[in-house]
Amino acid sequence: MPMPSAVDLAAHPLTIWQGPLGLPDFTRIGDGDFSGVFDAALKAHEAEIEAISGNAEAPTVENTLAALELGGEALDHVSSIFWCRAGAHTNEAIQALERDISPKMSRHFSAISMNERLFARINDLYQRRETLKLDAETLRVLEKTWKGFVRSGAKLDADGKKRLAAINEELSSLGTRFGQNLLADERDWALFLDEADLVGLPEFLKSAMAEAAEMRGQKGRYAVTLSRSIYEPFSTFSERRDLREIAFRAFTMRGQNGGATDNTAVVRDMLRLRAEKAKLLGYASFAALKLDDTMAKTPEAVHMLLDPVWEKALEKAASDQAELQRLAVEAGSNEKFAAWDWRFYQEKLRAEKFAFDEAELKPYLQLDRIIDACFDVATRLFGITFEEKKGIATWHPDARVFVVRNADGSERGLFLADYFARPSKRSGAWMSALKSGYKLGHGSKPVIYNIMNFAKPPEGKAALLSVDEAKTLFHEFGHALHGMLTDVTWPSVSGTSVSRDFVELPSQLYEHWLTVPAVLEKHALHVKTGKPMPKALVDKMLAARTFGVGFATVEFTASALVDMAYHARPDAPEEPLRFEAETLERLNMPGTIAMRHRTPHFGHIFAGDGYSAGYYSYMWSEVLDADAFAAFEETGDPFNPALAERLRKNIYAAGGSKDPEELYTAFRGKMPSPEAMMVKRGLV
């Protein structure tokens, strides 16, 4: 591995991207390249920060704020490739590097945020901001930058800065460990079955399980894995209650199996350090610290949203469970109704109430056609088009590359997508960027990617999605559009660089277009006949949209409430799992429903800082998305051109250039109440 001094950042394929379409040349990047390039890029960025902070000239927007925003390009480039690999296609070498690089990066950025000379220059501009005649976006960037420095310890004394840097470094290492432990539990567990064990399973699931078994060296058998794309349909369709129980227990015990991959101590230490960090920075709790820069602002405001929803969800789940238990008794079950029975009997109830089951929809939801639907909706709303480019090397052969063009044919950026589950990929679905789009300096075109975990079909067969998976595809593509349509000057407010409880609006809103009848008619075509989904089946699917809402809302809201309970207290619980149990008991959590994300595998809040004290934000944004789509429904045209242009300008293109309430009001004319969301969910 080369020494840092031997790395030429001006020529290395990790930092100078000279592959096809301006992408990195992935064919020239090896696992052994990252360490040396990271070290060299960190040193280069340190030199840039020193030049800014040591500048003898008086601070200006150009020599301080813009220089800070545009600095560290080599570090940005190597980081974006590395973190993509760490999530989407990891191995032991990448994981070892992740454990090394995470604390290094934390140290590096702590040093920048606590650099007294640099903060003095930012502070000088901030104190003079009213006299600098700044445009609104630049003023917002200056204010956010100043607040970011203060929230990162710029005003602490020397001892406080030292302690905060140590806390941040340790939290970074613990977050990496949490994620790697979870990946190991998910990767290493599989329940191998034979043909006789597959009673009740539809063909699409058998194919996915056969592929998963072959991938794990058990050709000819079938594997239940802990990927949601297999676990959830198995729990839904398997007639074998004993196997459903085994799968349920494995799924809910991820990260809590003892030994080297157990996350119990990791969570305890993270909560303790977060509470200490908040106290050090003068906040009553870690939730108060995290919510300070959001739409909600306080834990109390979060509870004003979550608590009424929780009560309604409990009522709905209780009435649903009574019906499910009736079905179980009618089917001859003498067992006590349990959590591994819920999905199974819920599907039976759906068939009884709406005369269809999920398996009937699958043949109409081909992955490639749902991708086309995503693109088609974007074209109709925003005028952009997508052209796939084959044969371009990326981080994995499954990843696909699309050129994104504006309505006039000019290139807007690139979109990459990696759709299939594999053992080297962490679970879930997400959007990120290899490059953000902005106009400052020489400017940058966005290079955005989506990662999914759909079950890979056998060679020559089409991948089929459930309705939930199709919604996930639209959801993450909504995030991607937020990155691709960005039209701002400053990098730090580009794309998804918005408050956590606003960032889910563009993604959740986009989900609504999946079930627009014109979209289904064009793209939901049967895998064998090519015929569109019959109107009768579409009507049943739409009628059943709020079916199962009690279960779904309880499992989500329980996770959001536990997240807030952990982080809104001034200290940290000594035994987090006992605290989880006590919190759920206090909330009257049904024993027949599990949290969507139990503590030991709650990657949103523990595999890094992302959604800590912020899991509620999906529901906060749902209040906005229900109201926003209602705006289109009120016009009678889901593609209303004038409304679509307001949506593009104020939501998808604006990034964090203005306050989110200002942006939403510019689109809709007013802020919504939670009622539209409650109605949409079928809770009132």
**pLDDT (0 to 100) of residue 684:** 84
**Whether 90 and 230 share a structural domain:** no
Q: Does residue 277 fall inside a structural domain?
A: yes
Q: Does residue 485 fall inside a structural domain?
A: no
Domain count, the chain: 3
**pLDDT averaged over every residue in the chain:** 96
Supply the range of the domain harboring residue 238: 189-253
Asked if 623 and 677 count as a contact pair (C-beta separation under 8 A), the reply is: yes
**pLDDT (0 to 100) of residue 184:** 96
**pLDDT (0 to 100) of residue 4:** 42
**Whether 298 and 194 share a structural domain:** no
Three-state DSSP state, 430: strand
**Whether 322 and 179 share a structural domain:** yes
**Whether 25 and 139 share a structural domain:** yes
pLDDT in tens, 481-525: 999 999 999 999 999 999 999 999 999 999 999 999 999 999 999
- Residue 284 above 60 pLDDT? yes
Q: Does residue 486 fall inside a structural domain?
A: no
User: Which neighbouring-strand residues pair with 438?
Assistant: 444
CATH of the domain at 32: 1.20.1050.40
Note the pTM of the prediction, 2 decimals.
Answer: 0.95
Asked if 381 and 639 count as a contact pair (C-beta separation under 8 A), the reply is: yes
Q: What CA dihedral angle connects 448, 449, 450 and 456, to 10 degrees? A: 150
pLDDT band at 2 (very low <50, low <70, confident <90, very high): very low
Residues marked as catalytic: 476
pLDDT in tens, 33-88: 999 999 999 999 999 999 999 999 999 999 999 999 999 999 999 999 999 999 99
**pLDDT (0 to 100) of residue 358:** 85
For residues 330-336, give the mean pLDDT: 94
What span, in angstroms and rounded, lies between the C-alpha atoms of 86 and 609? 16
- Given 614, 629, 660, which residue is the final one in a domain? 614
- Given 197, 230, 253, which residue is the final one in a domain? 253
User: Which neighbouring-strand residues pair with 416?
Assistant: 401, 449
Please give the sequence-ordered ranges of beta strands (E in DSSP) within 216-337, or none if there are none.
222-224
pLDDT in tens, 235-267: 999 999 999 999 999 999 999 999 999 999 999
CATH of the domain at 576: 1.10.1370.10
φ, ψ dihedrals at 637, nearest 5°:
-135, 110
φ, ψ dihedrals at 653, nearest 5°:
-95, -20
Q: Does residue 511 fall inside a structural domain?
A: no
**Whether 148 and 33 share a structural domain:** yes
Q: Does residue 457 fall inside a structural domain?
A: no
> Using only C-alpha atoms, what is the Rg of the chain?
25
- Residue 3 above 50 pLDDT? no
User: Which neighbouring-strand residues pair with 532?
Assistant: 525
Sign of the CA dihedral running 353, 359, 364, 365 = positive
What span, in angstroms and rounded, lies between the C-alpha atoms of 167 and 106? 10
- Given 597, 614, 631, which residue is the final one in a domain? 614
φ, ψ dihedrals at 435, nearest 5°:
-145, 140
Taking CA atoms, 104 is separated from 43, 98, 111, 117, 428, in Å, by 11, 10, 11, 22, 27
Q: What percent of the chain has pLDDT over 90?
A: 96
